[in-house]
Amino acid sequence: MENYQQFMLHARRAVSILRDLAQLSVYDMAADGLALKTAKKYAKLADVFFGSTDSPRLQRESVVLAEERGLSMERLQMIDGHAQKLKKQRGAAWKLRVELIAHEGTFEEVNAYGNQRVEELVRQKPKEKGARVSRPKNGMVTMSITDTQRRITDFEKTLDAIDTTEQPRSKALLEAFWKHIDGGGGVLKPEYRTVIAIGLDQSATIIRGEGDESIIGASDGTTMTGAEIVDLAVAGALGDKIYAGLFHPTAGPVNLYEARFASAKQRILAMAENLVCPWPGCKVPADRCQVHHLDAHKHGGQTNPSNLTTLCSYHNGVNDDGEVQGKNFTKPKRGRMIRHRGEIKLVTPGGRFLGNTHNLSSMGAMDLIK
């Protein structure tokens, strides 16, 4: 591990390295062995932190804080990438740099927070609806469709209902797409079974008809406003039964069952807690996930809500079950999902706890009671 520790020690000296690079030309760096493309990226970053600026005070604060925290070159590049999106707003870019440098978390967590902050500050223009077809290349053409998340997700569910194969998802969806088109079908309108996570305060607001501004996460990977949920309820699309899940801030879903397989209630609770697969970086919505035992059933793990979560089929397969925590708890080889302080986290082989940074990961039931 000595070489790794030396590597990390070097990586945390990015600010000192940039201070030196600010005195060199890109061709000096290239002559020393760096790729010219890489040298230009480093020189640009060095100019940001040590060149002339219209916000010298914030620049100095950024440099001091980044050096104190020992941030890596990669992390500083990521932070600057977010700040560059605000360059048309005077002073805003440097304020964001300071904010992201100070923000605690992993690279991925800070990156996700940066995306969120840029959206809030820029208020990006939404994509326009439409269909686009690429030019043929090697006999293949790509078609992309942009529409509301509800229409596209409903169509995706239609294709899922058609497909019964074990092919990779992209191929399975394509085959189902052509079966559907050739059959002249439309979009299926089944009873709406997706789990919607709503806090008590939000539900009261929606019931009063004041939920237009409330953004609610759903287990099919989409979000809805309170008004849209009311419209679904009036149309009968929410089904004839509505369940209320009870969650404890640290224990998670509350209810106990001893059955081997998760009941419908338990699956709903697990989906409400994590609207997407909680494995870091995964984007699979809970509707397409499997119910997973945190403490493996084969090692005595119980089928009760606090021991259950949702995982996509891939991450359910690669999750290292190991032994039950607190008994013969073994170090995970790939990573293991556990409940840490009430939340579902991945514990890495190095013992770190990581959560998913997908935007819906912060809209589940447990986040509504913080």
Tens digit of each residue's pLDDT (9 = 90 or more) over 102-136: 999 899 999 999 998 998 888 766 778 888 988 87
Q: Give the strands of the sheet with 223-225, arranged side by side.
A: 196-197, 215-218, 223-225
pLDDT band for 233, please (50, 70, 90 cuts). Answer: low
Distance CA 346, CA 349 (A): 10
Degrees to nearest 5, angle at CA 158 with 293 and 186: 170
Distance CA 56, CA 91 (A): 10
Q: Please, is 4 exposed, middle or buried when counting C-beta atoms within 10 Å of its C-beta (0-12, 13-18, 19+)?
A: exposed
Tens digit of each residue's pLDDT (9 = 90 or more) over 262-282: 567 788 888 888 999 999 989
pLDDT of residue 256: 35
Which residues, other chains included, contact 170 with Cβ-Cβ below 8 Å and sequence gap of 6+?
Answer: none
pLDDT of residue 259: 40
Tens digit of each residue's pLDDT (9 = 90 or more) over 288-346: 898 888 888 777 777 778 888 999 988 988 888 765 455 455 555 778 899 888 889 99
pLDDT of residue 65: 95
Q: Is 56 helix (H, G, I), strand (E, B) or coil?
A: helix
Sign of CA dihedral 266, 271, 274, 277: positive
